[in-house]
Structure 1
Amino acid sequence: KVDLVTGPGNIWVVTAKRLLKGLVGVDSEAGPTEVAILADETADAAYVAADLISEAEHDPLAAAVLVTDSETLADDVEAELDKQVATTGHVERVKVALGGAQSGIVLVDDLDQGVEVCDAYASEHLEIQTRDAAAVAARIRNAGAIFIGDYAPTALGDYCAGSNHVLPTGGCACHSSGLSVRAFTKSVHVVDYSREGLEAVADHVVTLAEAEDLPGHGQSVRIRFQK
């Protein structure tokens, strides 16, 4: 028996982790994979389409979402997808993923609303392809990993950049982070009081214990000062 199971995998790995949860520790039930791309009119439609396809080829359930305030870009990306999907290596898988309810193009009023949408979605991978991309990225609070600018596609993080490949999915980036050394560490709380220290707070403990109707808790403190 091990203490902790970590790492990425397909739906079978996720199922195994779910079966083990409660018996041993697991890092997360990661997947299906997902990418959100926040883009404005300065983005290159060919780049955006290629990055959506790269995520979609993982799995028919993969999510590929474009968030943009530019209708022109949205139309250009759709045209690029028609062209690029036809020549990609896993056409059927990509078509299913892109055509699923989990994928799509979200039109927003402006980048402020786009940031709000991306934070609400809390995607595993988030690409920022906008004017002043670094400044926009600094406003994001919920994402597994953020890829800034035209030359930081998600695939860079998969194979080379050094960001971890095990990232929160399904909106869990609002409360969880990617796998790191912290997943293999734990803390132990140590409480060490003197008689004087306990006496100084004894009344607080007793009062709270009585408020919760747990008299034994209070008595475990009182008894130490009844001799």
Structure 2
Amino acid sequence: MTAPNDSPEPSPPAFDETFRAQLAALFAWRRDVRRFRRDPLPPALIERLLDLAVLAPSVGNAQPWRFVSVETPERRAAIIRDFEQANAAAARLYRDEQAALYARLKLEGLKTAPTHLAVFCDETVSQGAGLGRQTMPETLRYSVVGAIQTLWLAARAHGVGMGWVSILHPETINATLDLPAHWVLVAYLCLGYPEEEHLDPELERHGWQARTGEGRRLLRR
């Protein structure tokens, strides 16, 4: 018998072969986008994408993700300067042909993406009471990565491109955004409508690294 004011559990959806094929296409067409149109994203769309992102699992249901929208020109300019410094330092690690190729790669869309999201892990989160992370505390940050991947797929499904910028100094980002030290930067994301669409990854298209399938091997023990 259903208790008063209790709603019955909804029936789980049935995912057919058509849906599974579309899901596979979504996975295949998710790209790290670096070339954006400047058209702004509707605020309601950004909120919808974040609603979907936080459906991701988290260790102990801790939900440690923290999203920051970077909007002021001064803060964006500071982050671009930090990228340029970090990128120049990274370029010096390469030599000869690899250095020349690195110099030609476009590694971010900071100047054209209409939306910038910095995503952090709150390392002091009390939710979850530490469940599941006593021996592997890094699972807290892994949970944030799960939310980022969910956001990435949701964005692609809505026609929005997303690029993950990792050539940054985390401590500089925290200081630029005036955030507490226990918020650890996991990703700096550029979002916007893509200027172009490609099935193959940009790094593969420009000769930096092809997919090898090496990590796909299933080891049996």
Calculate the TM-score normalised by the size of structure 1. 0.25
Please tell me whether Structure 1 or Structure 2 has the larger radius of gyration of its CA atoms. 1
Structure richer in helix, relative to its length: 1
Calculate the TM-score normalised by the size of structure 2. 0.25
